[in-house]
Structure formats: structure tokens, C-alpha cells
Chain A
Amino acid sequence: MREVAIIGVGLNKKWGELWDKSLRQIFVEAALAALDDAGVDKIDSMYIGSMSSGLFVGQEHIGSLLADYLGKVPLSATRVESACASGGAAVRLGFMEVASGMSDVVLVGGVEKMTDVTGSEATYALGTAADQEYEGYHGLTFPGLYALIARAHMEKYGTTREQLALVAVKNHRHGARNPVAQYPFEITVEGVLNSVLVADPLRVLDCSPITDGAAAAILCPVEMARSLGKPIVKIIGSGQATDSIALVQRKDMTWLEATYQAAKQAYQMANKGPEDIDVLEVHDCFTIAEICVLEALGIVDRGEGGRATEAGLTTLGGKIPVNPSGGLKSKGHPVGATGVAQIVEIVKQLRGEAGERQVKEARVGLTQNMGGTGGSSVVHILERED
């Protein structure tokens, strides 16, 4: 296997409700930013993560559409779907293609254009990541499913409503320093606790928003990256795993086995452990998700995610900063783009280009991107080469 570097990253300029921009426009904006950052023009192949361009904008076949609008046909281009982990899955396929020697320069991207439909249609589209016949049929929504996890976690480990709120407060504090973020402002615990109930015990400020956004990264062999004379960030570990998509089928609803398994693979490949990680971008689609993810990644002990958040472990300036970008909560969650945007943030952190939200002396970073209630999970570990 060849060593793989990330030589360019980019997002479209601003995430949010971009009514004047189409799916193809936001994707090309992000892809061009990544190509410019890398200083390359020619790519050999492209993978695009997108959860549901069909339900959100009525457009499938976007691999070819986006290759065309990027001016790159007859480029090999494939759209990848693994619900909200689509972006992470695209990164992993690009990594495998470069590592295998099949291609030299691969663009991995993600895009979701979610605001062309009403809120209720978006709720339906996102709900298709759950088991439609045995969860959706009974009226469960995504906030509803994570609410079931939250209630079980509170019951089993004594996690408090305030601890859940603190995840959102922390991520908004980080996101306030990110100009791309959809909601770049701070919120308070009282604000979260008084926000509208969506699915008890989760309130609207526990939930990541509906977002239009795109992200892209350029991968190539480390040898080639060295010849470009740019700071080198390598992908040193990659893991992906599945679990039943129906929450009801899992032995322990509070435990994200797919995330645990994906992390195990990535740690092993990287020859690193949780103690070696300086900064993380994780899938905080709901506040409870970040708590469960920290446990599954081994960053904290099982059941301790809420208390660790309350103790300030995961804040910028804390022992292990989590979601310096603002996470899905404040930066926004264009589902298919999220997994790639996590890579974008970690590359900026490891290059020391994260400005006001820079984690000091970050050398090793981890991304964790999750589909559904954890039915799929992708973990990558990145390291700066000195």
C-alpha cells in the first residue's frame, strides 16, 4: 500500500440556506477551492458523497453531472451513499484508490442541497436512513431515534439534560470562530433548555440544522506530495463498519458498535490509540451523539461522555478538543458533505491554519462520520509530517 497525503482542501464559501445556489454550484465552488489549495489541475478520479440528492433536489446520477460541471469529463466519477456517512465513505474510497496505486490524484467530495424542500419533506428524506418498514412506519424521526438513545443513556449512566446542552453550547462556542459556519454564534445552557421540544428529551438546540453545503479534498501519494513542496498531512488510518440500522436490533442502544469497530481498524492501521489524538471532528448530529461517539472512540470511558463534557475535557483549550469547527451543530450538517468537511477541518488544524479556533500543536487528528443512528461509521486518522 502506498502512503497517501491530502494536498488540498476546500468548502463552498458559506454554509446555510443558500437559496440562490444550486447543488452543482456549491459543489464546484468547494472542488475548485480544493484544487486551488492543492495547486493541481489534473485529477484521475472522483468520489462524491451524497445521501439523497434524489429526495432533496430530484437529481440522481450526480457523479457524472458534477464531473461535467467541474470541466473534467471523461473523468471516472462515482456518487457514494451511506446516509450521513456518505462523505466519510467517499474519502475512504479515494484513499483506497490512491493507496492501491490505481490512481495518483483523486478528488473526494461531498454535497447536500437540503433547502429546496420543505422541513417536513427534509424530515422524511433524512428518515430514510432509518429502517423504513420497522421504524419509519411507526412515525419515528431522526430526532426521535436519538431521543430514544438519549433517554436510555440518561437512565443507564445518569447523564443529565444539562450535560447534553453543554455539547451544543461548546460546539457553538467553537463555531462562532468559524466564518463558514451556518450558525456562527454562541448559545447558553438556558437557551438550549428553553428551546422548542422536537422529540423529548431533545430540543431544537440539541439538533444539527438543515444545511446546504459542499466540501472537497485532493488526495495523492505522499511521494508526489513531497515534490509539491507543501505541508504534508497524511491519512495514516482508515476504518469503516456497519451495525443494524434499526436501533431496536442492538443489544445496547447506548453503545455505537460500528464506531467502536471502525475506530479499532483505524487505530490499528495508524499504530495509534485514543491517547495519541490531539484534535477530533466527530458526528454530533444530536448532542447525545457526540457523547456516545466519545465513548465508542475510547476517548472517555463507557458512560462518561456527559460528565467529561461538563468537566471541559472536549472544549478548545481542554485536554482533547472535539469539533473545533463548530461540529455539525453550529457549522451545519449538509449530510453528504459532512464527512469530507471533517477532513477539511482536521487538515487545517494540522497545518496550523485554523485561525482563532486553532488547537495548539495539533499533530494527530481523527475524524468520525456516522450514518443513521450509527448503522454505519467511518473513522480516519490524519498526521502531519514534520
Chain B
Amino acid sequence: MPTPAKYWREIPQRYRLEAGKCQACGQIYFPPRQICALCGSREFTPTRLAEKGKLLTYTIIRVPPHQFADLAPYAVGIAELEDGVRLTAQIVDCSFEELRVGMPVKIEFRKIYEEGQAGIICYGYKFVPE
């Protein structure tokens, strides 16, 4: 079981979608970084991700890792948000048949999984159809 600190320190990203915008070239990083891979700048401004986007690709996980055993099958996809940032998340509140590339999605705050005995409940973002 990981320590809660491993979870807590990701909360700004998982709960509040905090990204970092490079002050020199404007590139947005999620999660935030310390040095821009494009221009080398080390100065960033915190910014919040756009909450809407379009699905670029998706899959349905039928053989899950153990933490997700109770949830399978479930859909996971990558969407490009309106600010150009790409995000990976589960896609919920829609049937598998409705999934298609280009589908408009928005981000909602949901439970991701439970660590189990004496562990914590892990939250974060998921995609839902827009």
C-alpha cells in the first residue's frame, strides 16, 4: 500500500486540473514541469485545463489490473481539450456502442478506485459525453 503522500501530492492535478504554462513560449504542460521541452524556459504560470474536448482514440479494458477488477469492462480514451492539451481518462456515462473517435467529451470529477483494506479512496477526472 503506498503512503497517502504519494496520493496527496497529485491532488492539484487530479482534483483541480492544474497545468503549467510556459511563460516564454506558451506551451501548456499537464502535469506541470520544471523545464520546457520546447524552449528550455524554467518559468511557468499555473493554469487550469480546458474542460471540454474531443476523443482522439479509445479502448475498452476487459482484462484490468487488480485495483480495477470490480470495474471492468470500462472505457479509457485520450481526448484533445479545447486548449490543445491532451488528456488520458476513463470515459463513463455512455454505452460502449456510443464511443467513437471525434466524440465531444467534458471532464467530471469522479471516484477512480479504492485502494482496499485500510487504504484510501482515490478520486480524479473522467470523461463524460458532452
Contacts and interface: CB of A to CB of B under 8 A. Distances in A.
Interface of A: 119-121, 123-124, 127, 133-141, 143-144, 147-149, 151-152, 155, 196-202, 246-249, 253
Interface residues of B, number: 33
A147 B31 contact: no
A200 B88 contact: no
The A interface is mostly helix, strand or loop, or mixed, namely helix
Contact of B59 (A120, A123, A144): A144
Given A141-B61, A141-B64, A198-B62, 7 more contacts: A133-B10, A138-B76, A139-B65, A148-B59, A149-B57, A151-B101, A249-B86
Nearest to A139: B68
Contact of A155 (B71, B89, B101): B101
Given A151-B58, A151-B101, A248-B87, A139 B63 contact: no
Given A134-B31, A248-B88, A139 B64 contact: yes
7 contacts: A134-B88, A139-B74, A143-B63, A198-B63, A200-B59, A200-B62, A248-B86
Contacts of B101: 151-152, 155
Interface of B: 10, 14, 31, 56-69, 71, 74, 76-78, 86-90, 96, 101, 112-113, 122, 124
B124 to A, nearest CB: 7
B91 to A, nearest CB: 10
Contact of B58 (A137, A139, A148, A247): A148
Contacts of A196: 62
The B interface is mostly helix, strand or loop, or mixed, namely strand
B56 A152 contact: yes
B42 to A, nearest CB: 19
Contacts of B14: 137
A121 B69 CA distance: 12
Nearest to A147: B59
Nearest to B6: A133
Nearest to B60: A200
B59 to A, nearest CB: 4
Contact of A135 (B64, B88, B96): B88
Nearest to B89: A138
A197 B62 contact: yes
Contacts of B57: 148-149, 151-152, 155, 253
A143 B88 CA distance: 15
The 7 nearest A-B residue pairs measured at CB: A147-B59, A152-B57, A139-B68, A200-B60, A151-B57, A199-B59, A148-B57
A147 B63 CA distance: 12
A247 B88 contact: yes
B120 to A, nearest CB: 13
A138 B10 contact: no
A84 to B, nearest CB: 17
A246 B61 contact: no
A139 B122 CA distance: 12
A133 B10 CA distance: 8
B116 to A, nearest CB: 14
Contacts of B89: 138
Nearest to B77: A148
B80 to A, nearest CB: 10
A247 B74 CA distance: 19
